[in-house]
Amino acid sequence: MNYPLEMLSNEELKVLFKLFEIKPSEKEPSVKLERKLSKVLSPVKGFFNDPMDYLKFMNTIAEQNNIYLAETDSAYEKESELFLSLYQNNFRQLSVDEQKDFLAHLEDKGLSKEHVASLTALSTLGAAQLSGMGIYLLASSTVGAISTALNITLAFSFYTTMSSVIYTVIGPIGFAIAAIPLIKTYKDVRDWPDIRDKSIDIYRGLEGNFKNILFGNFAKAEMAFNYIAGLRIMKITEIENQINDLNKEIHISKREQNDLNSTINGIEADISLLNSQIDSKDRDIEDIKIKVNRLREEIDEIEASKRKLRDQQSERKAKIDQFHVERLSFNSKSRESELNIEEKEKEIKSLKK
């Protein structure tokens, strides 16, 4: 029947179980709860009527309160629009003085002017503008007040995940917000804790009441609806905030990544410059190597020329030795021979230069 009960934890379901007098220990209590929800708005207690699915359940509440829900909206959009419209209808039905007293009461109990203003603004907003602290505070206050009115206390952390100001929803402020529909019924009530006690009476359904038998129990249905819708708004708002936080982390990471990329690009530019300088040095080295090879070739040529000269030198020395031997052997040679020797020595000297 499409009632969004699967989104509720076992702890959260206890509120609806108590509201519809279902024991959690019963067999398939969630199935029984859904069946009772589908019959709560049926005439004659639903004995001879088809069960309502969640969309028809919401449409019936909307019709009872003269609220229009667009047919093209999704179930969640209808739910959000109806939740806000019920609050708006109840708030607008208060007199100007009652509205002022109600808002002043919220501020006296600890809400800041900004939070009171955000709640006041909800009286003019549409479902498309449901984001922000105001709708979260309204949803969490409604859930807190309903659960506490039925003497069921949800975990304190349940209300504090978004902001520390939500702690007020488990106190008088929560009852004040949830009690807007009751202000018109109990105008004589001046003690806010007493609203909790009287809200239990009105929301228990008054099963023996003739009006409930003929037309269905709208008080109980609206209480169950506001509880379910409030929880969904809280959960979705929390997830949206987590997404926003993650997007902020992503933004910070991307910014840091961009900074790193800039640093990397700068280092890569330095590396590119150093590569160019290294390439230039490599070219210088190649040029020097070419020059060295040319010098080595010149050295080889000079060495070869030097070897030839040494060969010639050796030949000349051999001749000198030969001449010395001849000179020693022929001391008696004529002056002419000596002159020839002198000429040869001159020739040797000439070659040694």
Predicted pLDDT at 331 = 66
Predicted pLDDT at 158 = 58
Predicted pLDDT at 267 = 95
Predicted pLDDT at 118 = 65
Q: What is the pLDDT along the chain (353 residues), one digit of tens a residue?
A: 689 999 998 888 998 998 888 998 888 999 999 999 998 887 644 445 678 899 999 999 999 889 888 876 688 888 888 988 888 887 777 778 877 776 776 666 556 677 667 666 666 655 555 556 677 777 877 787 777 767 777 765 555 444 444 444 434 444 445 444 434 443 443 443 444 444 444 434 333 333 443 345 777 888 889 899 989 988 888 888 789 889 999 999 999 999 999 999 999 999 999 999 999 999 999 999 999 999 999 999 999 999 999 999 999 888 888 887 776 776 665 677 677 778 888 878 887 76
Predicted pLDDT at 32 = 93
The amino acid at residue 221 is A
Integer Cα distance of 10 and 24 in angstroms: 9
Integer Cα distance of 43 and 106 in angstroms: 38
Integer Cα distance of 272 and 303 in angstroms: 45
Predicted pLDDT at 51 = 84
The pTM assigned to this predicted structure is 0.63
Residues 285-310: b if buried by 16+ CB within 10 A, e if exposed: eeeeeeeeeeeeeeeeeeeeeeeeee
Integer Cα distance of 36 and 52 in angstroms: 10
